[in-house]
């Protein structure tokens, strides 16, 4: 994939160029851009797959550039690389697929580039807004703030949501992240794909393997992707889970 780097600091452009060049499958387009106007011109001419975009720059800033790209039929994927973390919400409103805070680490950059597989505009618009706000139906991705920056987890990779005090743990095929979203809101939005098995747990219907009763009379649900671990099903939800499994 071809990557265009946009940053007003020459040293930052050089560092990102070296880092991208060390990642297999990605090449840096030349020349790079030092401001938003140059970026738009180079994007028109070079047709990059991914743009690594700074936010604070002379003239058009990164958010303005991304907003203009949203108006195009086939925009490149945008990954923001910035020294400021306060723009994350605005970044995803202009369809960014990644948000990295400087100094960018090699692993974080590699992960962000792998996620920049050019989802279409409809998907991009739905990535981080709940259905109640977007009016376009359930999200296709869940966003979470982690030490890597803002991570986007495809919904079809989610195994379960478990509430614990004020946070919800999202377990996916690649690990776990914490969400600052109520479990009830997630159930309302994704109820056709997830089933409640406990007052504090939702599991992906397509991940269910089997329901098993323990010698002590408790019920456990085994899920694909948990490596043999199981979740407890509360007695009040057993009948509903059984009925749902008969329909799978």
For 206-216, how does the pLDDT look when each residue is reduced to its tens digit (9 = 90+)?
A: 999 999 999 98
Q: Domain for residue 125, yes or no?
A: no
Alpha-carbon 118 to chain mean position: 13
Asked whether 100 and 114 are in contact (CB, 8 A), the reply is no
- Asked if 88 and 158 sit in the same domain, the reply is no
- Asked if 159 and 98 sit in the same domain, the reply is no
> Mean per-residue pLDDT for 39-50?
94
Looking at 66-80, 133-147, 213-227, which range is the least confident one? 133-147
- Asked if 27 and 86 sit in the same domain, the reply is yes
Taking only the tens place, the pLDDT of each residue in 6-30 is 999 999 999 999 999 999 999 999 9
- Which residue has tokens 């925009």? 75
> Mean per-residue pLDDT for 120-133?
47
- Please give the residue that has the higher pLDDT: either 119 or 117: 117
SS3 120: coil
Checking if the pLDDT of 126 tops 50, the result is no
> Mean per-residue pLDDT for 209-226?
92
- Asked if 102 and 165 sit in the same domain, the reply is no
Helix residue ranges per DSSP H, the chain: 10-21, 36-46, 62-70, 88-93, 106-115, 121-126, 131-134, 183-190, 235-246
Taking only the tens place, the pLDDT of each residue in 92-108 is 666 677 889 899 999 99
pLDDT level of residue 87 (50, 70, 90 thresholds): low
- The phi, psi pair for 98, rounded to 5°, reads -165, 155
**Residue range(s) defining the domain that contains residue 206:** 153-246
- Asked if 113 and 20 sit in the same domain, the reply is yes
- Quote the pLDDT of residue 133: 52
**Nearest in space to 4 (alpha carbons), one of 103, 15, 13:** 13
pLDDT level of residue 132 (50, 70, 90 thresholds): very low
Would you call 105 exposed, middle or buried from its count of C-beta atoms within 10 A (0-12, 13-18, 19+)? middle
User: What count of other Cβ atoms lies within 10 Å of the Cβ of residue 213?
Assistant: 11
Checking if the pLDDT of 117 tops 90, the result is no
- Quote the pLDDT of residue 96: 75
Checking if the pLDDT of 248 tops 50, the result is yes
- Quote the pLDDT of residue 123: 43
Asked whether 142 and 153 are in contact (CB, 8 A), the reply is yes
How many domains, the chain?
Answer: 2
- Asked if 95 and 29 sit in the same domain, the reply is yes
- Asked if 91 and 22 sit in the same domain, the reply is yes
Per the omega criterion (within 30 degrees of 0), is the bond before 103 cis?
yes
Give the CB-side neighbour count of residue 9, counting CA atoms within 13 A.
13
Looking at 29-33, 58-62, 137-141, which range is the least confident one? 137-141
Taking only the tens place, the pLDDT of each residue in 145-204 is 777 666 788 899 999 999 987 889 999 998 999 998 899 999 999 989 999 999 999 999
pLDDT level of residue 134 (50, 70, 90 thresholds): very low
Checking if the pLDDT of 128 tops 70, the result is no
- Quote the pLDDT of residue 153: 85
**What is the DSSP code string of 171-207?**
EETTEEEEE-S-HHHHHHHHTTTEEEEETTEEEEGGG
Please give the Cα distance from 182 to 185 (Å, whole number).
5
Would you call 122 exposed, middle or buried from its count of C-beta atoms within 10 A (0-12, 13-18, 19+)? exposed
Q: Domain for residue 138, yes or no?
A: no
Q: Domain for residue 66, yes or no?
A: yes
CATH number of the domain that 108 lies in?
Answer: 3.40.50.2300
Tell me whether strands 201-204 and 158-164 are parallel, antiparallel or unpaired: antiparallel
- Please give the residue that has the higher pLDDT: either 237 or 135: 237
């Amino acid at each position: 994939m071809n990557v265009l780097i946009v940053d007003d600091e020459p040293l930052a452009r050089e560092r990102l160029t070296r880092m991208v060049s060390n990642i297999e499958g990605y090449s840096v387009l030349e020349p790079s851009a030092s401001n938003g106007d140059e970026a738009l011109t180079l994007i028109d001419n070079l047709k990059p797959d991914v743009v690594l975009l700074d936010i604070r720059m002379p003239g058009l800033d990164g958010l303005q550039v991304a907003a203009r790209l949203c108006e195009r039929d086939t925009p490149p994927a945008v990954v923001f690389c910035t020294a400021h973390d306060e723009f994350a919400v605005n970044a995803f409103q202009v369809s960014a697929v990644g948000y990295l805070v400087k100094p960018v680490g090699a692993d974080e950059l590699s992960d962000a580039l792998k996620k920049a597989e050019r989802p279409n505009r409809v998907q991009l618009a739905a990535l981080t807004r709940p259905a109640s706000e977007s009016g376009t139906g359930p999200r296709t991705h869940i966003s979470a703030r982690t030490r890597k920056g803002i991570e986007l987890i495809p919904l079809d990779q989610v195994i379960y949501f478990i509430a614990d005090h004020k946070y919800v743990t999202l377990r996916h095929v690649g690990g776990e992240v914490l969400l600052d979203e109520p479990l009830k809101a997630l159930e309302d939005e994704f109820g056709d794909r997830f089933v409640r098995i406990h007052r504090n747990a939702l599991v992906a219907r397509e991940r269910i393997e089997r329901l098993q009763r323990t010698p002590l009379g408790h019920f456990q649900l085994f899920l694909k992707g948990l490596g043999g671990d199981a979740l407890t099903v509360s007695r009040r939800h057993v009948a509903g889970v059984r009925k749902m499994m008969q329909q799978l």
